[in-house]
Amino acid sequence: MLRTIESLGPLGGKRIIVRCDLNVPLEGGAITDDGRIRASLTTLNELLHAGVKVIVISHLGRPDAAPDAAYSLAPVAQRLSELLGQPVTFATDTIGQAARSAVAGLGEGEIALLENLRFNKGETAKNDAERREFASKLAEFADAFVSDGFGVVHRKQASVWDLAELLPSAAGRLIETELGVLERLTERPERPYTVVLGGAKVSDKLGVIEHLLPKVDSLLIGGGMTYTFLAAQGNSVGASLLEADQLDTVKGYLAKAKEIGVELVLPVDAVMASGFKADADHEVRPVESLEAAPWGAAGMGLDIGPQTAQEFAQVVKASRTVFWNGPMGVFEFPAFAEGTRTLAKALTEVRGLSVVGGGDSAAAVREFGYTEADFGHISTGGGASLEFLEGESLPGLEVLGWQS
């Protein structure tokens, strides 16, 4: 049974450290999508209203285990303060003097945010002792731990795993909500059940396909993963994203899909571009001739083509359960956002449960003007949701008492 906040007993006056996933997209220091901050509010408000001294911790991006202004949580502290309608003390370090004095200065119902966890080597260390040592320093700040960063529960990291072992710990409201939705997807999803995969973390996501195939009716592949599949089918893909060492694995997936009767749907066309930039020249090409002139082997696929987008939309709209993770193209460049936009629209038209998961995917649908109300659920977790759907056991949930 997942331990929830109730399991922590009376809250008033306690110091509670809360792991949130405030890893928001930034552009030139400005937050472009604050969805993950908003998603953290339910738990934080509940604790604050109960008179807790709240210490929030999070990572942001992938800094190199050392302080780096480009990955500071300072802009997040400001946005969080606006959304909560109360001051948020920002500590310019994570376990140093600044953090200690921020925590010491907290009154009941007050809140502090510590600097980026990943400025510290211990946070993501593979070495157990190193991780534990960092977590112990965080643990000194608090009487209890609430884990609410759903986007990181698949990671065995200091602030996800070790901290939960060191302090009385419980899941926050966001994790409870996310789990509720994902359980609806895994326990007898209404059929047809379609999963759509895209995005850039190709090697991460290729791995989940094997486990998802037997569970779904259709698996649609877009985004950067497309080109490894197309190459496995013998197409040339130019300078598109390609995991050359995964070609055999991918051939195996294609064979397995056929064998078990799952529809594995690949793009039939792509938007090829002269380079990776917003104003690159671009043309729609059928997948058999991605390397056509004028760019030849230098061309790169930055979006699914319009015919593919239509086909994907048809499959999605005919489904009763849809989970989507990963943009269909480089949606940050308007010229390559159409595939993602068409897919997003199709998800809003599903008669059944539609779930969008992943930081960038969620940012994309909000950029198109959609809100939570347009989907069954917008999940803050991409990788975490996928691993859950695969049936993997997630360390950050297990440590809170949850069992699959």
Active site residue 383: yes
Least distance to ligand ADP, CB of residue 30, Å? 17
Of 198, 222, 329, 383, the catalytic one is 383
Tokens for 26, please give them.
Answer: 């930034």
Tokens for 173, please give them.
Answer: 């409201």
- Tell the burial category of 12 from Cβ atoms under 10 Å away from its Cβ (0-12, 13-18, 19+): exposed
DSSP letter for 328, please.
S
Is residue 357 involved in binding Mg ion (CB under 5 A)? no
CA distance 198 to 219: 11
Q: Whose Cβ is closer to ligand ADP: residue 11's or residue 365's?
A: 365
> 3-state DSSP call for residue 87?
coil
Q: Which does 361 bind (CB under 5 to 8 A by kind): ligand ADP, Mg ion, none?
A: ligand ADP
Q: Which does 176 bind (CB under 5 to 8 A by kind): ligand ADP, Mg ion, none?
A: none
Using only C-alpha atoms, what is the Rg of the chain? 22
CA distance 343 to 353: 15
Q: Are strands 282-286 and 269-273 parallel, antiparallel or unpaired?
A: antiparallel
Other Cβ atoms less than 10 A from the Cβ of 267: the count is 27
Q: Whose Cβ is closer to ligand ADP: residue 255's or residue 278's?
A: 278
Is residue 224 involved in binding Mg ion (CB under 5 A)? no
Least distance to ligand ADP, CB of residue 285, Å? 13
**Options 339, 359, 383, 396; binder of Mg ion; rule CB under 5 A:** 359
Active site residue 19: no
CA distance 331 to 199: 10
Q: State the amino acid at position 122 in one-letter form.
A: G
User: If we measure between CA atoms, which residue out of 357, 356, 399, 323 comes closest to residue 155?
Assistant: 399
> 3-state DSSP call for residue 113?
strand
Least distance to ligand ADP, CB of residue 292, Å? 17
Least distance to Mg ion, CB of residue 178, Å? 16
**Options 79, 137, 201, 345; binder of ligand ADP; rule CB under 6 A:** 201
Is residue 98 involved in binding ligand ADP (CB under 6 A)? no
Is residue 121 involved in binding ligand ADP (CB under 6 A)? no
Q: Whose Cβ is closer to Mg ion: residue 33's or residue 311's?
A: 33
Active site residue 156: no
DSSP letter for 275, please.
S
Which positions from 351 through 370 interact with ligand ADP, judged by CB under 6 A? 358-361
Is residue 327 involved in binding Mg ion (CB under 5 A)? no
Q: Write down the H helix ranges in 151-274.
A: 163-166, 173-186, 202-212, 226-232, 247-260
**Options 31, 41, 181, 241; binder of ligand ADP; rule CB under 6 A:** 241
Is residue 303 involved in binding Mg ion (CB under 5 A)? no
Of 172, 198, 305, 359, the catalytic one is 359
Is residue 172 involved in binding ligand ADP (CB under 6 A)? no
Least distance to ligand ADP, CB of residue 393, Å? 20
Of 201, 256, 317, 345, the catalytic one is 201
Cα–Cα–Cα angle for 317, 322, 325, nearest 5°?
A: 120
Least distance to ligand ADP, CB of residue 315, Å? 19
User: If we measure between CA atoms, which residue out of 62, 190, 201, 38 comes closest to residue 118?
Assistant: 62
Residue for token digits 């738990």?
Answer: 43
Is residue 26 involved in binding ligand ADP (CB under 6 A)? no
- Tell the burial category of 144 from Cβ atoms under 10 Å away from its Cβ (0-12, 13-18, 19+): buried
Q: Residues interacting with Mg ion, by CB under 5 A?
A: 359-360
Active site residues: 36, 201, 359, 383
Q: Residues interacting with ligand ADP, by CB under 6 A?
A: 198-201, 223-224, 241, 301-302, 325-327, 329-330, 332, 358-361, 382
